Structure 1
Amino acid sequence: MLKNAPKFYEVAKRIVEITEDCILVAHNSSFDYRILKTEFKRLGFPYKRKTLCTVELSKQLIPDMESYSLGKLARALGIPMSDRHRANGDAMATVKLFKMLLSKDLDKTIIKDNIQVEKKSTIAPNLKDIIDELPSETGVYYIHNADGDIIYIGKSNNIRKRIIQHFTGTNSKSKKIQRLVSTVTYEKTGSELAALLKESAEIKKNKPIFNRALRRTIFTHALYSYKDENGYINLKIDKADGNAIPIITFSTRLSGNNFLFKVVEDYNLCQKLTGLYSTKSSCFKYEVKECHGACIQEEDVEAYNKRVQSLIDKYSYDNKDMLLIDKGRDIEEKCVFLIENGIFKGFGFFDLNHQITNRAILSSVITPMTNDRDTQHIIQSYMRRNKRLKVINLT
């Protein structure tokens, strides 16, 4: 569709003419306006217009809708749409939606209040120059002072956006960073897990002055298992103990309990034996016939423990040899994380054409990293949250 389309510079003059003294109306106008500003900036032209967003207007004039996406909003309001996700079709649907919103705003006060006038940037020119050089991609970034020392390390799924937040923040730390920053360097990782692991390792190695809060252990609670006097495997959330080996760790007790509530449902476990229901008799789920009776020794010990063990096997990588495969820095690449005998060895990047389970290839692409409790917590938390992460068990 774009093969024979005109280049932006060929239509730029016409865009200026048709938007002169006008208000740009769009569904999610900040996105469209940002695209226009970026293209005009490349041509060296300062493009500024007032904007009006039909998403924001719809939320105020048509509250309690299930969704405010253009397609779902049009269907709910009976607005006919053709050529969905094409310029003309979406534009005509937005026109019809805007006319409907105009009719609902009798005094036109809401419309007027929502007209956005671009504010003059509060970012200093030297900080703008830094931002212009940054990618909107996942990775780790390093903020340096004039001497080249690293004063802050962070990770983000959008490095550029995160640095803008640092440079526009008004809290004490942001203001200090704005005053001291000289340059920002970065390393693209593609994978968020790689960025999290790299960030943790780099903070420990460099100890930047503005990362003090992150130097503390990042998990406080853990899931442990033990057998009771009847032979049933019990689970409990407790404070992380440096001596005991946890199944999985959590940043707070609340997140641990939320995890337990979920796995009790998924694995049909007993609330009493997971510490979620304190009682000397049967648990609540037994009363509503959703527990097989492990709480009162009615369920076969072996059958119950088998389900608990499958949960432990899934969420603990203790003594396991496996690979985790995540997205890479571009479409032709993947990021691989190696765990051998329950120990995280490091991560690296490989071409989609490689047979990555080959140990010789693995050793050549993996960059060694330190295995510690923080690393284990980061990996396990990421595995819980990302169902699309590919796991390959090595034999």
Structure 2
Amino acid sequence: MLYAVVDIETTGGHASANGITEVAINIHNENQVVESYTTLINPRQFIPAYITALTGIDNDMVAEAPYFEDVALQIYQLLNEKVFVAHNVNFDYSFLKHHLAAAGYDLNCRKLCTVRLSRKLIPGKASYSLGKLCSALNISIQNRHRAGGDADATSILFNMLLETDHEGVIAEMLKKSSKEQVLPPHLDRASILRLPNQPGVYYFKDNKGKIVYVGKAKNLKKRVISHFTGNKPNKQRQDFLRTIYNVDYVVCGTELMALILEANEIKRLWPENNRAMKRYEHKYDLYVFEDQNGYLRLAIDKHKTNNKSLQSFNSLLEGYNFLNQLIEKYQLCAKLCYLQKTATKCTAHDNGQCFGVCSGIETVAVYNKRLNNALAELQRLQPSFALVDDGREAEELSCLVVENGTFYGMGYFKDKTYLADGLAPIKNDLSIYQSNSYILNLILNHAAEFPQKLYKL
């Protein structure tokens, strides 16, 4: 079997916006390096000063170097049908795959990461960065942070790993079923193997144990592995993969429960990589307040975290439509609900729809009583129910409870007779979670789709 031990230097940390400045490839036959190739490359972009300070490669050095497309065929032929070996292999592989694709070549190699291999075959080292690991193993690196020097050091390290591998670790890692080649360099395969094929929520952690991402899954093992497949070259993905050192999880009875737990955990933990769910909030609410004349007034306004609302809406139009329905049904005044801004009486007064509160005809007591009756009926119409579904194991059931149109909480129990005594005893055994329109809509849509799971309370 032939291996291509690779190192590259670049203008930045991700392939989609950065170029390659140097490539080194050592062809290894499992015993020794039998062929070497190295070249500077003109990246067609400015090399930042901090990169020059690290590598010594500046703009003048690459001015007369070939462009990547000029050497792409030779690089592709050296890599094709070899096992691609590198220290933090997914970084080098993502760059070369991206730039070879731009030149018309489709690179598809099996990969080996010498960071991951070293952790398995030479455990207990303080650091597995190339420089510190080589220092600990007495491997001399000539021209550190140059492609040729680092590729040569990686080749010597690879020799040591081959000699140390008495248990067939490398052969096992190269199996398609192992998934080793797709995992981030610092994530132990054992963390993946212990994941169940069940719904739940997973937590990616960095080297200090801080949670950097929370996700939900219908199948925990399959979903977590899917994060690492492919070789997307964008900065966000590459930075994300480098931060992952461990993964924890919580099993849920259903995918719906996983969705709800995910939403609550993101709000609780605020992980730096959960951008989409962080941005979610319902935008508008229905509020009631008393004005200086004593009249109760309804208003649609932007969501305020510390203000108690009667109802939440995803858009201003949705809120206005709902408020108009209340006004028509309960003969409220559109002017007092801020839907009309006339200086005089509202337009509905003339046709008898409004009883003249905006003209001072209807008293505070009479108007407020009718508005309170409307709010009371609105509250009575809010649903209270339980959704009963599969649990985390065969002898268990799950339960989600909505009380008066608000998600209350969820939990697990053994027998459906548990529901016979109504809502009060159930609530004592549930974990309470934050409710918002996103979560409530998830539950209501699920209840509409699966009415057989619904228990009215």
What is the TM-score of this pair, normalised by structure 1?
A: 0.46
Which of the two has higher C-alpha Rg? 2
